[in-house]
Amino acid sequence: MIDDKVLDANRRALDNVQGWVGDQIHHIVDFAGKLHKEYSISGAIAEVGIHHGALFFILISIATGNEKCLAMDIFDDQHLNVDKSGKGSLATFEGHLANVFPEKRNSVDIWKVDSMSLSPTDLRERLSGQRVRLFSVDGGHTVAHVINDLNIAQDNLTPFGIVALDDFFGYHWPSVTEGYFRYMEFHNRRLAPFLIFQNKLFLTTFSEHEIVLKKYREYIDILFGEELHHKWKYSMLSGFKVIAKDK
């Protein structure tokens, strides 16, 4: 049932690339691909915070045709990594791209940039106007970074687009959770959370929240059926219904 391309990218990424990706996250990515296909959504795939690319390679496995794949990180400008979250390396990322994912070499745009210096319009220009359908927020983990990066994501997202926020409710990075709640209170215009899973919070666009939640729930039911009733539950977050899985 899972797309072979996603399964293969997940295996290659987890076997070869150091990172912190949950072992089931590829299912969520796979279903984003299926959902977007069903609703004829196309768009770029982007991540802020690449480190060595583990998650990025899984995300871009669903890219098709002219969809841009944008990798943003300060990379070796680590003096800009104010809270020491991960440690990007351009040489390591490029090495994995060349040796582990050579078929993606020509479709990845590597942008060495401090996301704190970006506006949503800067990203739009970099993508030549293409909106983003899958956006991972995993750069700096301070409150300010989270607010900034979610703002950039919301202004560039397609309808049905999905944002993954890393380290949500993570004990080591409470500032991510704090940043999320501040963002929701003071800055949010169109994002709605729908899933908490393997250290990440997933959000989609406000108008499509209900349908995305329903579709993911059905998919999760098929995937994890047996454990559904004791490990998954519906909860409320920021006024939105979400599906949440306990550890």
Ligand X SMILES: C[S@@+](CC[C@H](N)C(=O)[O-])C[C@H]1O[C@@H](n2cnc3c(N)ncnc32)[C@H](O)[C@@H]1O
Closest distance to ligand X from the beta carbon of 195 (Å): 17
Buried-exposed string 101-117: b where 16+ CB fall within 10 A, e elsewhere: beebeeebebbebbbee
Can you tell me which residue has the tokens 């996603």? 6
The residue (of 79 and 229) whose beta carbon lies closer to ligand X is 79
| Residue 21 binds ligand X, judged by CB under 6 A | yes
Of 155, 149, 160, 142, residue with least CA distance to 212: 160
Bridge partners, residue 237, by sequence: 240
> Considering only residues 30, 67, 73, 208, which one is a binding residue for ligand X as defined by CB under 6 A?
73
The residue (of 67 and 138) whose beta carbon lies closer to ligand X is 138
| Residue 55 binds ligand X, judged by CB under 6 A | yes
# binding residues, ligand X (CB under 6 A) = 25
The residue (of 21 and 243) whose beta carbon lies closer to ligand X is 21
Beta strands in the chain (DSSP E): 44-48, 69-73, 108-112, 132-137, 157-166, 191-197, 200-205, 232-237, 240-245
Of 213, 70, 57, residue with least CA distance to 131: 70
Our CA angle for 29, 48, 22, nearest 5°, is: 40
Q: Segment 110-129, which members bind ligand X (CB under 6 A)?
A: 114-116
The residue (of 78 and 235) whose beta carbon lies closer to ligand X is 78
| Residue 210 binds ligand X, judged by CB under 6 A | no
Question: Which range touches ligand X (CB under 6 A), out of 95-103, 126-134, 136-144, 214-222?
Answer: 136-144
The residue (of 54 and 237) whose beta carbon lies closer to ligand X is 54
Q: Which two tokens stand for residue 133?
A: 């359908």
- At position 24, the amino acid (one-letter code) is Q
The residue (of 173 and 240) whose beta carbon lies closer to ligand X is 173
The residue sitting closest to ligand X, measured at its beta carbon, is 86
3-state secondary structure of 196: strand
Residues engaged in binding ligand X (CB under 6 A): 19-21, 48-51, 54-55, 72-74, 80-81, 85-88, 114-116, 138-140, 145
